[in-house]
Structure 1
Amino acid sequence: MTSTASWAGLWFLTRNTTVSTKTSITSLEFSVLKPNIGTFRLFSPYSMCHNGSTSLTQRSCKCSYTAPVSTRTYEFSDTSSEVELRLNLKGLDIQSSREILVDTSDSSLAIRALRPGLPVTLIETNRLFDRIKPSETIWYIDDDELVVNFKKQDPDLKWPDIMESWESLAAGSAQLLKGASIYLVGNSTEINYKVAQEIATGLGYTPLSTKELLETYSNQTVDSWLLAEGSDSVAEAESAILESISSHVRAAVATLGGQHGASGRTDKWRHLYAGFTVWLSQTEATDEDSAKEETRKNVKDGRLAYTNADVVVKLQGWDSAYAKNVAQACLSALKQLVLSDKKLPGKKSLYIRLGCRGDWPNIKPPGWDPSGEGDRSLDTQ
């Protein structure tokens, strides 16, 4: 049997935790509030193999989520291979670039004015929109502005802003996803629905709820349907709904949670593969390592259909007020996923055009019979 693989970016959300935010901007005219909100922690993206292997292949950098910041204190532009940041220095009495410290890594940035006593932090983030080449960073003073030029590692990626935030992710996802739909799966129908609504609003996608579609079709609630005909009937009906919308583009689809939903059953994923799937996984884990180990065990066990998802977002607790934060985590994980393989959106489109035959991710040639034994895959590299 040909092994299959799924790519996953793993996020972890804790609630009721005071943020010690690592993104800040300081100027004479503006300051950033640090509200008492939950904090996301991003686990390094990894590949999950569904062939019995439990190895997690690390990719790229490891960094934590940082709160979005206002762009009122700086100007930003993208010139293909480079991005430029202009910071207003009025009132800081900066005479030369030697009084400025610019500290960068491939994914982080800190700019400080070297003042007598403690340095003044002008901007700091550990989550740039994408990676840069730190050694090629240059900066200079232009009148009352500090100008910093960064060389991008990926010149083809258009940066909406210097930092990753809800606004920049929403603006940047269009070029990455290329209209591919997003399916939210997991045990909670409510969480799937709330997060899908936020994603649809941010991306300008059509929000769809299989629960609402089922209830409109049957003229009864899903709970009544379950009592009358059982979970198998509901899962079969939702599977038919997923088939009917699988060719839709630019949709954020909230699926039913639990085993009565199609996404909770391994034999009902044929049409879910038409889009990017995000598993919203509630967990009791309290730290990154234990959350990752929990996911590793899920993959090894192989009984949870949700491990077929493209990305995983771990949540500790739930409050609908955090739906937008979770949606941001989803978009960030999907961004990393697509940047790791930019052909994925096109591959999703090909999968749809060939009829959603269940041969994801090893797409077979046209005319392939799902009931046959052939395992030759269509070359999509």
Structure 2
Amino acid sequence: MATRATSTSLNFFFSQNPIETHKHSFLLNLSATISNPSFTSFTITHSSLLLPARFPTHHAISVDKSSSRFSCRSLSTDVPVSIKDYEFFDSTSEVELRISLVGRNFQSSRDIFVDANDTSLTIRVENSGSLTTLIETNKLFDKVKPAETIWFIDDDQLVVNLKKQDPELKWPDIVESWDSLIMGSTQLLKGASIYIVGGSTEINQKVGRELAVGIGYTSLSTKELLETFAKQTIDSWVLAEGPDSVAEAESTILESLSSHVRAVVATLGGPQGAARKADKWRHLHAGFTIWLSKTDAIDEDSAKEEARRHIQDGRLAYSNADVVIKFQGWDADNAKSVAQACLSALKQLILSDKQLSGKKSLYIRLGCRGDWPNIKPPGWDPSAADDTSPGAL
């Protein structure tokens, strides 16, 4: 029986919080259209550049640990590369892509065209005056040095060597996709937990669950923990004791969870959520915080301005988050797309300051005293309002 195609749209705008420890701000507008269960189509705007790309939902990836070689076979018929099979190899300073040329019927190496830019790669083969695209992606896993790109033909394979801009970063695949992001998350997060905040408890839970399952973290929901403890629903608790009572209880839960690692914690939305109150963020800073925020903005510029305004004025406690993701509309079926946007934003955040994960760990070890991001030396007393110690770790 044929699967009926559905079409929904979801726009994202996300940015890093430009606090003192990571000032490298970026904003992305991401439009997702689900027209087939097997793939998701994206259009991404990064700064002033329009970068169309298509990301597969599924890949079959086999890893040979002895040689660090990845053999990738797409399970989707509509992927960011035209071919379905290629070999990928990551070394210290460069990545290597091997593509079979069997059956391409080109005359010489002059019929092969390789075009690489910072984050994009296009490979075409000419045959009888007609160009066939082997690869066209505008979302490489990370930046490369295009001027140092080398390619050659090895028997029946085209070999392309791309020089990394960041030799310390291990590439799981040639493109940034859901699969490569979850495979690369270990080296970036280093066990640090993730806290999902925002006005909707439901959205926080669904996106948090997708993230946790993807990266192999424990999925936790403060709503579920509180309701289990109180043996009543959050709504009835609010009616009986008020939202402040629930927020106080959630704050206690967050304090307990702050020493945990490898967890994705979905927090309460609405006035009963602790994350809505600026004085309850002390233990949220123990992990990477992501603010999921709906927007009524009709275009990217308006969404950027809204996010920038919220972060700069600081009147919303959610603006304390490390990453802000703004989106138009919501459909539970798009939770995985939002989760992918979260991982992409976290990757950019951590690569902009590679000390962040270690700094989160230090913050926990010193007792989550509320001194994030300027961590004070051991012995600092958070209750000393007149503290003017210039030292910060």
**Which category of TM-score, normalised to the shorter sequence, fits these structures?**
0.7 to 0.9
Q: Does 1:376 align with 2:389?
A: yes
Counterpart among 115, 138, 143 of residue 126 in structure 1 = 138
Q: Which residue does 1:51 correspond to in 2?
A: none
- The aligned amino acid for 1:273 is H
Cα distance in 1 for residues equivalent to 2:388 and 2:108: 65
Normalising by the residue count of structure 1, what TM-score does the alignment of the two structures yield? 0.86
Q: Name whichever structure is richer in strand by fraction.
A: 2
Correspondence for 2:171 among 159, 172, 183: 159
In the alignment, which residue of structure 2 is the partner of 1:49? none
> Which residue number corresponds to residue 5 of structure 2?
none
Cα offsets for 1:294-349 (capped at 9, x unmatched): 11221233211111111111111111111111111100100010101100000000
Alignment of 1:322 with 2:334, yes or no, is yes
Aligned with 2:303 (options 291, 294, 302): 291
Aligned to 2:77: none
Query: Residues 31-84 of structure 1, C-alpha deviation per residue, up to 9 Å, x if partnerless?
Result: xx897856363545xxxxxxxxxxxxxxxx956473324532211010111100
Per-residue CA distance 1:161-191 (angstroms, 9 max, x = gap): 0000011000101001100000111111111
Question: Is the 1:11–1:40 Cα contact (8 Å) retained in structure 2?
Answer: no
SS at match of 1:74: strand
| Unaligned residue ranges in structure 1 (runs of 5+) | 19-32, 45-60
Tell me the residue number matched to 1:41. 44
What residue number does 2:209 align with?
197
Match in the other structure for 1:340: 352
- Counterpart amino acid of 1:241? I
Q: Describe the shift of the 1:244–1:200 C-alpha distance in structure 2 as closer, same or farther (beyond 3 A).
A: same
Which residue of 241, 249, 252 corresponds with 2:253? 241
**Higher relative contact order (Cα pairs below 8 Å, separated by 6+ residues):** 1
Going from structure 1 to structure 2, the CA distance change for 1:210 and 1:9 (only over 3 Å counts) comes to: farther
- Partner of 2:54, secondary structure, is coil
Cα deviation for residue 11 of structure 1 reads 4.1
Summarize the Cα distance change of 1:307–1:6 in structure 2 as closer, same or farther, 3 Å threshold.
Answer: farther
User: Which 10-residue stretch deviates more, 368-377 or 125-134?
Assistant: 368-377
In the superposition, relative to structure 1, how do residues 84 and 152 fare at CA in structure 2: closer, same or farther (>3 Å)? same
Where do residues 168-317 of structure 1 align in structure 2 (5 Å cutoff)?
Answer: 168-317=180-329
Residue aligning to 1:85? 97
The 5 A counterparts of 1:57-136 are 64=51, 66-69=53-56, 71-72=72-73, 73-136=85-148
**Using the alignment, how far apart are the partners of 1:9 and 1:244 within structure 2?**
33
Structure 2 Cα separation of the partners of residues 132 and 203 of structure 1: 25
Structure 1 residues 316 and 369: CA distance shift in structure 2, 3 A:
same
Question: Which sits farther off after the overlay, 368-377 or 314-323?
Answer: 368-377
Instruction: Report the Cα distance in structure 2 between the residues aligned to 1:246 and 1:86, rounded to whole angstroms.
Output: 44
- Give the direction of change, closer, same or farther, for the CA distance of 1:37–1:130 in structure 2 (3 Å limit): closer
- Pairwise CA distance, 1:131: 0.7
Paired residue type of 2:388: D
Same amino acid, percent of matched pairs = 64
Whole-angstrom CA distance in 1 between matches of 2:171 and 2:390: 35
Conserved 8 A contact 1:89-1:146: yes
- Higher mean displacement: 257-266 or 220-229: 257-266
Relative to 1, partners in 2 of residues 1:90 and 1:196: Cα closer, same or farther, differing over 3 Å? same
Give the match's secondary structure for 1:342: coil
> Offset at 1:15?
5.7
Counterpart of 2:373 in structure 1 is 361
Hey, what's the Cα distance between the residues in 2 that align with 1:304 and 1:64? 32
Equivalents in 1 of 2:330, 2:149: separation in Å? 41
2:29–2:46 Cα contact (<8 Å) kept: yes
Structure 2 gaps, min length 5: 1-17, 60-71, 74-84
Following the alignment from structure 2 to structure 1, what is the Cα–Cα distance between the partners of residues 106 and 164?
28
Tell me the CA shift for residue 94 of structure 1: 2.4
Amino acid at match of 2:389: R
